[in-house]
Structure formats: structure tokens, C-alpha cells
Structure 1
Amino acid sequence: MRRILIVGAGQSGLQLALGLQAKGYDVTVVSNRAPEEIRAGRVMSTQIMFRTALHYERELGLNFWESLAPPALGLGVSVAGNVPGMPGIRRLVDWVGRLDGYAQSVDQRVKMPGWLETFAERGGRLVVHGVTVSDLDFLAPRYDLVLVAAGKGELVSLFARDPARSPYTTPQRSLALAYVHGLGPRPEHPEYDAVRCNLVPGAGELWVIPTLTTSGRADILFWEGVPGGPLDVFQDVEGPGEHLTRTLELLEWFAPWEYGRATAVELTDAGATLAGRYTPAVRDPVGRLPSGSPVLGVADAVVVNDPLTGQGSNSAAKCAASYLASIVERGEEPFDAEWMRGAFERYWATARHVTRWTNAMLAPTAGHVRSLLGAAGGLQPVADRFANGFDDPSDFEDYFFDAAKAEAYVTQVAAAAATRG
């Protein structure tokens, strides 16, 4: 039985560990916190998982909360701006695309402890310890394969930044999120939940995500601010209460259509807020320990995108599924550095589309993209296709990045609509 060590207990690390466990591998997981510590701790992220990522969880029988988490049947986009002669910020664009399969969000404080306990109950070896590079160097000879699925901390230094795939060298957004109870329904679609993305050109974005948290159904209010801009105001916040106050102040000024349903919200718990920033990067997937032993980076450890496009947990799930297939197909052959690079490139064939799209969305919005978003407001097939691109970002290659292709696509859809009408 081949022995595998996974350092990191997030979406990718635990999904991969449970998948390998089901295939008969001897798996050890190292987590820096015990399940009960994670449950009682602070929120760790936003997350919204689309059809493909949810399918990978179902395949492994890990969709424990699917009947409890609110299903998001659509994805909506609003674009804020000023209308000449009218006061305040208004919606210049507003539409909802229907998803081919619903999306769901489960607070990591719910999912990760549950998966950790399941892994241990099924006979997996769980070690609660903060691992250093020297620790890993000591442990590595005892395993056939070592995977680093921790996207933060000292271990990330094992993986050198790949400048050819990493255009940014500084954070592109200031991030601030709050989990809340009491958010009212969107009047445009009160009968169903949808993920909402509000674009404030030049300032940033606001995501509103229905979720399941430790206290039940909730919503995530997630601001992404251009550094130094009017949404970048959370560095000096003192406590969760002030964080929520600033969140709502920004809603009232920059997204009043969302503020109207947020006047009665309250934080879900004392750990329901988070703020920070990080630099998007793609890194060399093979790290070398001081002894020379190779280790393979997983998901955020080697490909970290800004959460602007909601791809973090989706990419983690896809990476885990890809690595699982590569490991099983390797059989009894050694997991050497050459194999590691091949396994990563197999994943990168999917991940590159996420990185290209996310990096494009971080830049000032191109004119043809503004036109595309505007066209979606009057052409439902365009709205639906854009929304489903969050599940399969490779589809954006066919029409999103090139002005001529975007114009041709919209013209084709409009002609078809005119024929039907």
C-alpha cells in the first residue's frame, strides 16, 4: 500500500485525501488545527461552488450538506454608474443568467471539520501540527509522495513564482467579507436565490453569496476594493461590529439596490468577518526540500487567483480531482519530479483558463467587455452563457477576450432572437 502525506486540510487537501483513502492508499493528513478549533474559529474565505466542482464532491460521496445549503439557481451581474442629470449611483446594467446546474456555498468552518472527522473515522491518520520546512524534510523519506496543499505560511516558499505565468507582483484587490443573517430577497427574483456580482468601475466589486454557515442559512457580503480606492477602507477596522458598519456604508453609497435589502442584517457570529489581500501568482509546482526530496504543490499552493471570479474552491476541487486521477494512473511507478510536473500540467490545462480570465477581470474593463455585459441585459442567451462560464471558464476563450469575436457572438444571438420574435 503506497503511503501519501498531505499537508493542508482545505478543499483540495481533504478532497484528495478522502479520494485516495477510498482507493486504498495509506494517507496521512497534517492540519494546523483540530476540527473543533476550525468550527469555533473565524471564517476563512468566501466560496461558491459551481456544477463541475459539486459533481466531484458527489462522486466521492462528500456532499454531506447539499440538502441544507441554499441552491443558487442563477448568477446576476450589475454595473454601477452615474446617469447624467440624476443624483447618486445607479444600475446601468442588471441581469441574471440561469445556471445549468445550481451552485452552492458551505462555510469552510462547517465543511472542513466534517471532512476531517470523516477521514479519521474511515481510518485515516490525522496529525494536528503546524508543519515547517524542516519538519517536512524529516517526514518526507517515510512516504512515497508528499503533497503541500497549504496555500499560506512557510511551506509556500518551497514553490518559486513563475514570472511567465504571473503578471502581477502586488495585490490587485483589498478583500473584506462578512457573513450575515437577515438579508432580504432580491425583488427582481424573490422566488429563488442567485449569486450576485456588482461591478463598480474603477473602485472594485461587491459579491453577495447565499451560503450555509455554522448557524444555518446566511449570506456573504464580500467587497473587493482597488488598493487605495474608495472601497479600500478596512485596514484599521476595530472589531466585527465596525467591519459590518463599514460594509453597510459602502453598500448604501456604491450599491444602494443591495443596501435596500440589508438594513436589518446582523453578523452570524463573532468570527464572521475577515479582511486582507494577497498577490495572484502561479508557482513552480515542484518544491525541493533541503535534503533534495521533491514535493508537489496543490491548488492554492501553486496557482492562486484573486477571488474576483469566485473560482477558489472550484479550482481546488478540480485540482484535487485531476491529481487523484494522475496518482491512481501512476500505479507502482515512482512519484518523481518529472511525474509531478506532468501531473501539474494536466491540471494547468484547465487552470490556465481561470487564471487568464481572472487576470483580465482585474484589469480595467475593456470596451468590448462592457458592451458584452450590456448586451446580456437584453439577450438572455448571452446572460446564461456568461453565468455558466463561472463553471467552465474555458468557454470564455471563444468570445470574451477578443473584441471581434465578442461582437460577432452578440450579433449572432441578436439575429436569432429577431428571427424567433
Structure 2
Amino acid sequence: MRRILIVGAGQAGLQLALGLQGRGYDVTLMSHRSPDEIRSGRVMSTQVMFHTALQHERGLGLHFWEDRAPRIERLGVSMAGTVAGRPGVRRVVDWAGRLDRCAQSVDQRLKMAGWLETFSERGGRVVVHGVAVSDLDFLAHRYDLVVIAAGKGELASLFARDPARSPYTAPQRCLALAYVHGLGPRPEHPEYDAVRCNFVPGVGELWVIPAFTASGRADILFWEGLPGGPLDVFRRAEDPGEHLARTLELMERFTPWEYGRATAVELTDAQATLTGRYTPAVREPVGVLPSGVPVLGAGDAVVLNDPVAAQGANSAAKCAAVYLAAITERGDAPFDAAWMRATFARWWAGARHATKWTNLMLGPLPVHVRDVLGAAAGLQPVADRFANGFDDPADFDEWFYDAAKAGHYVARARRPSTTRS
């Protein structure tokens, strides 16, 4: 039986560990926190899992909260602007695209704690301990393969930044999120749940995400602000109540249509807020320990995207699925550096589309992109195709990035009997 060590108990690490466990591998998982510490700790992220990523979880029998989490049927876009003769900020664009298959969001405190307990209950070996490079170097020779799925801290330094694939050298957004109860229904469509991205040009974005947490149905209010701008006002050590008040003040100022249904919200718990910022980067997939042992990077350890395009957890799930298949196919052959690079390349073939899509969202939106978003308000096929691109970002290459292609597609969409082709 081949022995595999996985460091990191997030989406990629735990999904891979449980998948390998189910196929008979001897897996050790290292986490810096226990399930109880994860469950009772601060919220870890925002996340919207689209159909492809959810299918990977379902295939492993890990969809424990599916019947309780909101069924997200649409993805909407609003654009803030001003209208001549009317004071204040208005929605100048507003629509919702239909998802082909529902998306869902589960608080990762629930998910990762539950998955970690499941791994242990099924006989997996869990080591709760922070890991330094020296610790890993001591342990690595005991395993056939070491996978690093921890995207922060000392271990991330094992993987060199790839400048050709990493256009940014500084954080592009300051992040602030709050999980809340009590958000009112959207008046335009109270009959279904939708995740919505509110673009505020020159300021940032507000994502509103229906979710499930320990206390039931919740919504995530997530500001992504340009550094140094009016949203860059959250402090890391801020009191949760102050954080929520600041979130609502900014909603009232920049997205009053969202604030109107948020006047009665309250935090889901005392640990329901989070702030931060980080630099997006793609890193070399193979790290080398001081002893010369190669290790394979997974998920955020090697492809770290800003959450502005909702790709992080989806990309991690797809990474785990690719790595699971590659490890299984390897049989008894060695997991050498060449195999590691080939395995990463197999994942990157899809992950590069998520990174390209995210990087576009981080910059000023090109004129033709804003034109497409405006046109989608009156063209449901365009709105639907844009929404489903979050599940399959490769589709954006076919029509969205190039101004001529986008214009041609929108023109065809205006004709009767238009399809996505």
C-alpha cells in the first residue's frame, strides 16, 4: 500500500485525502487545527461552488449539506453609476443569468471540520500540528508522495513564484466579509436564490452570496475594495459589530439597493467576520526540501487567485480531482519531479482559464466588457452564458475576452432563435 502525506486541511487537501482513502491508499493528513477548533473559529472564506466542483464532491460522497444549503439558481450582475438629474448612486445595469445547474455555498468551518472528522472516522491518520519545512524534511522520507495543500506560511516558500504567469506583485483588493442572518429577499425575484456581484467602478465589488452555516440559512456580504480607496477602511482587529456596521455604511453609500434589504441583519456568530488581502500568484508546482526530496503543490499553495471571480474553492476541487486521477493512474511507478510537473500541467490546462478570468476581473473592465454586461440586461442568452462561465471559465475564451468576438456574439444574440453556440 502506497503511503501519502498531505499537508493542509482545506478544500484541495481534504478532498484529495478522502478520495485517496476511498481507493485504499495509506494517507496521513496534517492540519494546524482540530475539527473543533475549525468549527468554532473565525470564518475562513467566501465560496460559491458551481456544478462541476459540486460533482467532484458528490462523486466522493462528500455532499453532506446539500439538502440544507440554499439552491443558487442564478448569478446576477449590478453596475453602480450616476444618472443625470438624479442624486445618489443608482443601478445602471441589473440582471440575473440562469445557471444550468444549481450552485451552493457551505461555510467552510462546517465543511472542513466535518470532512476532517469523516477522514478520521474512516481510519485516516490525522496529525494536528503546525508544520515547518524542517518538520517536513524529517518526515518526507517515510512517504511515497508528499502533497502540500497549505497556501500560506513557511511551506508556501517552497514553491517559487512563476513571473510569467503572475502579473501582480501586490494585493489588488482589500477583502472584508461578514456572514449574516436576516437579509431580506430581493424584491425583483423573491422566488429564487441568486448570488450577485455588484460592480462599483473605481471602488470595488460587493458580492452577496446565499450560504449555509451552523445556525442555518445565511448570506455573505463580501466587499472587495481597491487598495487605498473608500472600501479600504476595515481593520484586522476590528470588533465584529463595528465590522458589520462599516459593511452596512458602505452598502448604503455605494449599493443602496442591497442596503435596503439589509437593515435588519445580524451576524451569524461572534466569529463571522474576516478581513485580509493577498497577492495573487502562480507558483512552480514542485518544491524541493533541504534533503532533496521533491514535494507537489496543490490548490492555493501553487495557484492563488483573488476571490473576486469566485474561482478559489472551485479550482481547488478540480485540482484534487485531477491529482486523485493522476495518483491512481501512476500505479507503483515513482512520484518523481517529472510526474509532479506533468500532473500540475494537467490541472493547469483548466486552472489557467480561472486565473485568466480572475485577472480580468481585477483590472479596470475593458469597454467591450462593460458593453456586454450592459447588453445582457436585455438579452437573456448573454446573461445565461456569462453566469455559466463561472462554472466553466474556458468558455470565456470563445467569446468574451476579444472585443470583436464579443460584439459578434452579442449581435447574433439579438437575432431570433439564438443559442449559445
- Compute the TM-score of the two structures, normalised by the length of structure 1: 0.98
Matches of 2:225 and 2:418, distance apart in 1: 39
Matches of 1:174 and 1:244, distance apart in 2: 16
Q: Does the CA-based 8 Å contact 1:251-1:258 persist in structure 2?
A: yes
Q: State the partner residue of 1:415.
A: 415
Matches of 2:285 and 2:161, distance apart in 1: 9
Is the deviation greater in 234-243 or in 370-379?
234-243
Q: State the partner residue of 2:301.
A: 301
Q: Residues 111-122 of structure 1: matches in 2 within 5 Å?
A: 111-122=111-122
Q: Does the CA-based 8 Å contact 1:78-1:197 persist in structure 2?
A: yes
Q: State the partner residue of 2:132.
A: 132
Q: Residues 23-38 of structure 1: matches in 2 within 5 Å?
A: 23-38=23-38
Any idea what SS the aligned residue of 1:4 has? strand
Cα offset, 1:417, TM superposition = 5.5
One-letter amino acid of the counterpart of residue 314, structure 2: N
Q: Does the CA-based 8 Å contact 2:236-2:276 persist in structure 1?
A: no
Is 1:373 the counterpart of 2:373? The answer is: yes
Q: Does the CA-based 8 Å contact 1:168-1:279 persist in structure 2?
A: yes
Q: Does the CA-based 8 Å contact 2:175-2:225 persist in structure 1?
A: yes
Cα offset, 1:238, TM superposition = 2.5
Q: State the partner residue of 1:283.
A: 283
Cα-to-partner distance string for 1:367-409 (whole Å, 9 max, x where unaligned): 0000000010000000000000000000000111100000000
Is the deviation greater in 227-236 or in 329-338?
227-236
Matches of 1:203 and 1:417, distance apart in 2: 38
One-letter amino acid of the counterpart of residue 48, structure 1: V
Q: State the partner residue of 1:314.
A: 314
Following TM superposition, where does structure 1 have runs of at least 4 consecutive aligned residues deviating by more than 4 angstroms?
Answer: none
Q: Does the CA-based 8 Å contact 1:150-1:300 persist in structure 2?
A: yes
Cα offset, 1:215, TM superposition = 1.0
Cα-to-partner distance string for 1:37-87 (whole Å, 9 max, x where unaligned): 111110010011000000000000000000011110000000000111110
CA RMSD in angstroms comes to 1.0
Matches of 1:214 and 1:369, distance apart in 2: 38
Q: State the partner residue of 2:85.
A: 85
> Structure 1 vs Structure 2: percent identity of aligned residues?
75
One-letter amino acid of the counterpart of residue 260, structure 2: G
Any idea what SS the aligned residue of 1:94 has? strand
Matches of 1:292 and 1:373, distance apart in 2: 50
Q: Residues 91-170 of structure 1: matches in 2 within 5 Å?
A: 91-170=91-170
Structure 2 runs not aligned, ≥5 long: none
Q: State the partner residue of 1:194.
A: 194
Q: Residues 205-216 of structure 1: matches in 2 within 5 Å?
A: 205-216=205-216
Matches of 2:416 and 2:353, distance apart in 1: 28
- Compute the TM-score of the two structures, normalised by the length of structure 2: 0.98
Paired residues, number? 419
Matches of 2:370 and 2:40, distance apart in 1: 43
Matches of 1:229 and 1:277, distance apart in 2: 14
Any idea what SS the aligned residue of 1:415 has? coil
Any idea what SS the aligned residue of 2:86 has? coil
Matches of 1:237 and 1:201, distance apart in 2: 28
Matches of 1:109 and 1:403, distance apart in 2: 41
Q: State the partner residue of 1:327.
A: 327
Any idea what SS the aligned residue of 1:194 has? strand
Q: State the partner residue of 1:260.
A: 260
Matches of 2:237 and 2:361, distance apart in 1: 27
Matches of 1:392 and 1:140, distance apart in 2: 36
Any idea what SS the aligned residue of 1:412 has? helix
Matches of 1:257 and 1:237, distance apart in 2: 29
Q: State the partner residue of 1:229.
A: 229
One-letter amino acid of the counterpart of residue 243, structure 1: H
Q: Residues 243-254 of structure 1: matches in 2 within 5 Å?
A: 243-254=243-254
Cα offset, 1:281, TM superposition = 0.2
Q: Does the CA-based 8 Å contact 1:57-1:63 persist in structure 2?
A: yes
Is 1:63 the counterpart of 2:63? The answer is: yes
Cα offset, 1:232, TM superposition = 1.1
Cα-to-partner distance string for 1:328-362 (whole Å, 9 max, x where unaligned): 01110000000000000000000000111110111
Q: Does the CA-based 8 Å contact 1:237-1:243 persist in structure 2?
A: no
Matches of 1:412 and 1:203, distance apart in 2: 33
Structure 1 runs not aligned, ≥5 long: none
Q: Does the CA-based 8 Å contact 2:39-2:110 persist in structure 1?
A: yes
Matches of 1:417 and 1:175, distance apart in 2: 42
Cα-to-partner distance string for 1:249-283 (whole Å, 9 max, x where unaligned): 00001000000000000000100000000000000
One-letter amino acid of the counterpart of residue 272, structure 2: A
- Label 1:198 to 1:158 Cα distance change in 2 as closer, same or farther (>3 A): same
Any idea what SS the aligned residue of 1:88 has? strand
Is 1:384 the counterpart of 2:392? The answer is: no
